[in-house]
Amino acid sequence: MIDLHTHSFFSDGELVPAEHLRRVEVLGYQAIAITDHADSSNMDFIIPRIVQAARDLNAHSQTRLLPGIELTHVPPGLVAELAERARALGAKVVVAHGETVVEPVAPGTNHASLQADIDVLAHPGMISEEDVVLAAERGIFLELSGRKGHSLTNGHVAALALKHGAKLAVNADAHGPGDFLTAQMAELVGRGAGLSASQYEKVRCDMAAFVKGL
């Protein structure tokens, strides 16, 4: 199990990184990214703390903690700049908060994010075919979300990703202990979005290859 999109108490999650990591270690995770919500006001506070937590905890855990960030409701014109700043601060996983249908994300966020140095476009909603092609060209993961509301468009995202060869990631968008996906639930998210067993296995392999390359 790998999850590239979760939240700790440094934004709107419930757990300190140590407990966050321990809970998924018990579930058998290989790696998890903590990607707390940020814009220009707080990323310089959050990222160094998650980086430090990863340095301290990874020597003591079978699950690898990946320091990351989720650029959240950032105006499209600022996404690229903040993604670069996040990398400079030490973020290994940069997630962009996509145009979910359950929040008023600015139109154009998906496209701007896919042109920036990000790894995952989270819950991209009714993403356009043009943007799915761009994601495929740039090797950016499109998220199938395990989170209520954001998951409403998983089928749409999966169908276009399969059509155009874009990479998919199944993520919990976990904010608390009850949100972490088991291996069985993660597969249900993928299969429920329309993936076959072999297509879901490719998702798992693509996520593992990404983590291995960090």
Q: pLDDT digit string (tens) for 169-211?
A: 999 999 999 999 999 999 999 999 999 999 999 999 999 999 9
The domains of the chain, with CATH numbers, are 2-212 (3.20.20.140)
pLDDT digits (tens, 9 = 90+) for 50-96: 999 999 999 999 999 999 999 999 999 999 999 999 999 999 999 99
The C-alpha torsion from 127 through 115 and 76 to 163, rounded to 10°, is 0
At 165, the pLDDT band (50, 70, 90 cuts) reads very high
Run of H or E including 67: strand 64-71
The rounded Cα 173 to chain-centroid distance in angstroms is 7
**Residues β-bridged to residue 171:** 145
Structural Rg of the chain based on CA atoms = 16
Residue 134: the pLDDT is 98
* Mean pLDDT estimate for the chain: 98
Exposed, middle or buried, 154 (CB in 10 Å: 0-12/13-18/19+)? buried
- Token pair 């703390």 is found at 49
Strands 141-145, 120-122: pairing kind: parallel
